[in-house]
Structure 1
Amino acid sequence: MSKRQIENQEKIRGFMLSKKLWTESLTGELPRFYEKFGDMLIFTDPTFQNGKWHEAGDELWKLVCSLYNGKRIGLKSRIKNDDFRTPQARLVFGDSPHTDFKDNKIRYTWNIEKNMFCAGNITERHRIASLNCKGEVVVDLFAGIGYFTLPYLVHANAKFVHACEWNPDAVEALKKNLILNKVSEKCAVHFGDNREVCPKGVADRVNLGLIPSSRCSWETACDALLPSGGILYIHENVTSNLNIKNDCHMAITRFQPLTKHSR
């Protein structure tokens, strides 16, 4: 940890001692990592999970905001293992769970209690932004709040994007983000299971941005491509570098019959 992080932890510990709420069991819940979106600070489990933190009330949260330069605080734990990848997050300090964040000149807004924002996909978001998709149609099979849809439209200059999403809360945020970035006229939002609502035979490129695996929609992706073919961007968790070659070979092997079927 940096010197600043250690100093912040000590100030929080000192505050809790002054309120006679400190116990050594809280040491593991002192902030080590956090995310910041606009003025929203988000701390991940196990940070601030014990009830004693909440006994300290707003006075503690105001101190935390001053230390980490925020105005609102959210706490989150692991994403639910459901079809919507629902975040388990809650606002503990501040007036609204809605936040606004700008990355690479693209504005994103979402409700932290209903939608997730994956800061870890920044490399892929920026890679997409660097593409030249002028005159092309893109299908985004797992659009979410627009993590990849927006870079295709704002920076890669795609002619049109078909964005598929089945989480109603994500669809609401996606539509707002399209308007915020002034690209709503170049995007059709298809609400529902992409295997049922995705258009066929339209795409130069198809984005399959779902982890741990997007295999459930591989056939849908092939059907979405133009009859002349196109590019698929497949997302998949890989356990080690040694498995990458095998996984790529497996993907190619599985896609061959799908492409023949879809043509």
Structure 2
Amino acid sequence: MPVVAIQTLDRRQVKACKTALEKSGHFDKLRGIEKDGNGFLIFTNKTGDYVDLKTIAITEFPELVDLKPSLEIMVVPDDKHKTVLDVRPSSNLKSAVRSVLESLIIPSLSTERLDQIIKRLPQRYYIYGQFLLLSSSSFESIPEWQSLAQDDLAFANKFYQLLVDRLKVTHIAQNAPIPDDDDNAMRKPTHLVCLYGDFGLDVSHASILAPSREHIARELWAATRQNNICQTWAPRYTMFSRGNIKEKARVLQFENVESKTVVDLYAGIGYFAFSYAKCGADLVLCWEINPWSVEGLLRGAKANKWNAQLVQHDEDWVIESKKDSAPKLVVFLEDNRYAISRIRTAEEAHDLKYNISHINMGLLPSSEQSWPIATELAVLSSEDNVALHVHSNVAHSDIDRWSRNTGLKLLHLISEFNPGSCVMPTHIEKIKSFAPGVMHICGDFLVKKM
């Protein structure tokens, strides 16, 4: 059963919220408080499904009325805490590092230097199967560590050999920000630092754009489960954001998905496409330009026991007519600007009309380039009402204005195809902090056609 949590981005409100919930008997001592991106989740002992809680207001918790401006009520899936096991507390890493360094018996490593290394270690790290992912502030950025590595060129390798054994992993890498430039439209994690283990063949321009089967077969593939959905990716070629778990859970509760068609214009490794599939969509049409993301999506679909069909850009889309062998997901390895022609051609060739009820646009920092495609797809749908889910990075102070402007732009675009239609903003979801003062949000807009 999903549980209700109070979310706040204000650290100063955490204690006050916890104290108020404790006094009223609403605080869940077992789950307690969790860090959530740049904010916090304070768990209550109230449970219920999302539908019942759609109208829930802060007045359900009268003890929090005075704190209302900085709090938000949210529903957390009951299996979220199984997923959190991939995020290990810093104490585990610190204990393993201390044990390894002490076992190496390094004469120049004084107790003071050792303590400094331990103190500077990151607060969180991630283990995905056999893959340990460290934050960008890990070993290589610690002066005391750099000194040890300079004194002994074989030190780092000896250290990592012992660390993988302590943490029961086989590969270690250090994270880095995704380059945000015009040459990285595929959102490749090209700054990832591989510290230990065989990650595969050398990365090259050719392997990025058109990987061979050998490249794919020999690459390290990581996997994890969120909301009881398996996701798979190649860490050197595709990104994985744990912070999207909240939005993935929200998608699982969307209405008007079951037995419908959903379009995901930026599918990636199946971040949101898989949630729509699990939610009951008959068909999820996915567009993605990164071949490594597509491979991860196909592997993830197989792990979740969903049929998936790959359609390359230079081949026709062959539609399976047999119900029992029809794909749950169709993945087009091409630019989403071909989505309109793909669907029009399919409808004309097979005399059908797709009942598209949701269109997802998950590109950051802005998905605006796909808005004309989404609005035309909404008109092509056999559904009278189509929900558009628009992702963007927006300054906190601009969110309301962004919502109004986006609604007006979408209305202008759809009026070209279906005059008289209206576009209604229905919800703004604040997914996670992207940078100081900037939120990754998703705006829901309902297209009502004439």
TM-score, L = length of structure 1: 0.85
Residues 7-47 of structure 1: CA deviation (Å, up to 9, x unaligned): 55655665788264797997886333322222311112232
Change (3 A) 1:37 1:3: closer
- Structure 1 residues 2-11 or 143-152, which shifts more? 2-11
Q: Is the counterpart of residue 18 in structure 1 residue 18 in structure 2?
A: no
Alignment correspondent of 1:140: 264
Q: 1:209 to 1:17 in 2, by over 3 A?
A: farther
Q: What does residue 187 of structure 2 align with?
A: 85
After TM superposition, give the deviation of residue 66 of structure 1 in Å: 5.2
Structure 1 contact 15–60 (Cα < 8 Å) conserved: no
Return the match for 1:131 from 254, 260, 264. 254
Q: 1:215 to 1:49 in 2, by over 3 A?
A: same
Question: CA 1:67–1:249 in 2, change beyond 3 Å: closer, same or farther?
Answer: farther
Give the structure 1 partner of residue 364 of structure 2: 211
Higher Rg of the two aligned structures: 2
Q: Residue deviations 1:122-180, cap 9 Å, x none?
A: 10111112234111110001000111111111x21011110010111111211222222
Pick the aligned partner of 1:237 from 372, 375, 393: 393
2:139 match: secondary structure: coil
Deviations 1:185-237 (A, max 9, x none): 11111121112335457421100111111111111111121263400011111
Cα RMSD (Å) of the superposition? 2.9
Counterpart Cα distance in 2 of 1:150 and 1:41? 24
- Residue 186 of structure 1 aligns with an amino acid whose one-letter code is K
Q: 1:180 aligns with which of 272, 285, 303?
A: 303
Specify the alignment match of 1:57 in structure 2.
156
Does the aligned pair in 1 maintain the 2:288–2:332 contact within 8 Å?
yes
What is the distance in 2 between the residues matched to 1:167 and 1:21?
45
Counterpart of 1:255 in 2: which secondary structure?
Answer: helix
Name the % identity: 26
Unaligned runs of 5+ in 1: none
What is the identity, as a one-letter code, of the residue corresponding to 2:246? T
Q: Which residue of 2 aligns with 1:247?
A: 402
Confirm or deny: 8 A CA contact 1:28 1:47 kept in the other structure.
Answer: no
Q: Secondary structure at the match of 1:77?
A: coil
In the alignment, is residue 38 of structure 1 matched against residue 129 of structure 2?
yes
Whether the aligned pair in 1 keeps the contact of 2:94 and 2:121 (CA below 8 Å) is: no
> Displacement, 1:91?
3.2
5 Å-filtered alignment, 1:153-192, equals 153=277, 155-183=278-306, 184=308, 185-192=327-334
**TM-score, length of structure 2 as denominator length:** 0.52
Give the C-alpha shift of residue 245 in structure 1: 1.2
Q: Give SS of 1:18's match.
A: coil
2:66 aligned residue: none
246-255 or 86-95: which moved more? 86-95
SS in 2 for 1:117: coil
Structure 1 match to 2:422: none
Q: Give the corresponding residue for 2:412.
A: 257
Counterpart selection for 1:150 from 258, 271, 274: 274
Q: With CA pairs under 8 Å and 6+ residues apart, which has the higher RCO, 1 or 2?
A: 1
2:132 is paired with a residue whose SS is strand
* Structure 2 counterpart of 1:193: 335
Q: Which residue type is aligned with residue 41 of structure 1?
A: L
- Per the TM alignment, residue 4 of structure 1 is displaced from its structure 2 partner at its CA by 5.4
Deviation of 1:243 after TM superposition, in Å, equals 2.1
- Residue identity matched to 1:18: I
* Higher strand residue share: 2
Q: Which moved more, 1:25-34 or 1:204-213?
A: 25-34
Whole-angstrom distance in 1 between the partners of 2:127 and 2:331 = 28
- How much does 1:120 deviate? 1.0
Counterpart of 1:247, as a letter, is W
Q: CA deviation at 1:72?
A: 2.2
